[in-house]
Amino acid sequence: MVLGLQRPDRGKIFSFGQPLERERTSLLRRIGSLVESPSLYSHLTGRENLEVHRRLLGVKKRAIEDALATVDLTSVADRLVRHYSSGMKQRLGLAQALLGEPELLVLDEPTNELDPAGIHEVRSLVRSLPRRRGVTVFLSSHLLSEVEQVATHLAIISQGRLMFEGTREELRQRSKQQIIVEVDQPERAYALLSQFCRTVARDGNILKIGPDSEWDDPAQINSLLVKEGIAVSRLTAQHPTLEDFFLELTGSPVSEKKYAAR
């Protein structure tokens, strides 16, 4: 909808404070995009692909060299695209999106179907774009672990409703830690901790102290157990992942929902 590819069922889309419906052409010139996989001519070189796109946009030739340098493809710019790896093709797609020097870059599943090396390449590039190009990146993805490593601001959308919006720090403040303890006397430890902690679960030699417990200081818990002669072999404070928070907030499987971030 932000790119004008689909109309909203209700309401209006505003970009840069202006209605997209009325200022469509001028607003879209300020936005670059990459939706999953780029549309490239495999029989042309990387540079020739960008030249085709440059002519459509009507920007200066210098924009091609700037874009190639940004995505680190200058050294292979004259190689046929059919010989590019998946990660290189995705970076070339990002170079296309950057040709018009957009203020906003919209990326939909940019690491979809990439191998681990390609994911790392694209992730590092996306993370660097705001600093290197002064562009705001809006990224939409189901891969929550990837989003967690890239995004500074997060939004969770469920059934068309915005369930959460804020920074990673604001999300962390809403997600209290869980304490994991491994001991040599689990039965004694469970009985002891249950007197002080509201939520304690036992799984073999491992005890999990829930985030709603008043005792949430690992050092305090360790001191209590050791004082009672219980040996602690492992004690960690574990924060919920984005996936944990997503499931808690939406109450539905991750695969049925969409996660967006910028």
> Hunting for tokens 């440059």 — which residue is that?
54
Judge contact between 187 and 225, C-beta under 8 A: no
The answer, yes or no, to whether residue 105 has pLDDT greater than 90, is yes
Task: Note the pLDDT tens digit of each residue in 120-169.
Answer: 888 999 999 999 999 999 999 888 888 888 899 999 888 888 888 998 77
Domain 14-141 part of CATH 3.40.50.300: yes
- All residues at 6 or more sequence positions from 9 whose CB lies less than 8 Å from its CB, including other chains: none
The answer, yes or no, to whether residue 257 has pLDDT greater than 50, is no
Average pLDDT of the chain to the nearest whole number: 87
Task: Note the pLDDT tens digit of each residue in 10-22.
Answer: 889 999 999 998 8
SS3 of 243, please? Answer: helix
- Fold classification of 176-238 (topology level): Alpha-Beta Plaits (3.30.70)
Q: What is the largest CA-CA distance in the chain?
A: 76
Query: Band of the pLDDT at 196, cuts 50, 70, 90?
Result: confident
Q: Left if phi > 0, otherwise alpha if psi is -120 to 50, otherwise beta: which for 36? A: left
Predicted pLDDT of residue 188: 93
- In the chain, where are the structural domains located? 14-141, 176-238
Predicted pLDDT of residue 256: 40
Task: Note the pLDDT tens digit of each residue in 198-256.
Answer: 788 888 999 988 776 566 678 888 898 999 999 999 998 877 778 777 887 777 554 44
SS3 of 189, please? Answer: helix
Give the distance from CA 200 to its chain's centroid.
Answer: 32
Element (H, E) at 149: helix 144-150
Specify the range with the lowest mean pLDDT, choosing from 3-17, 34-48, 161-175, 180-194: 161-175
Task: Note the pLDDT tens digit of each residue in 42-95.
Answer: 999 999 999 999 999 999 999 999 999 999 999 999 999 999 998 999 999 999
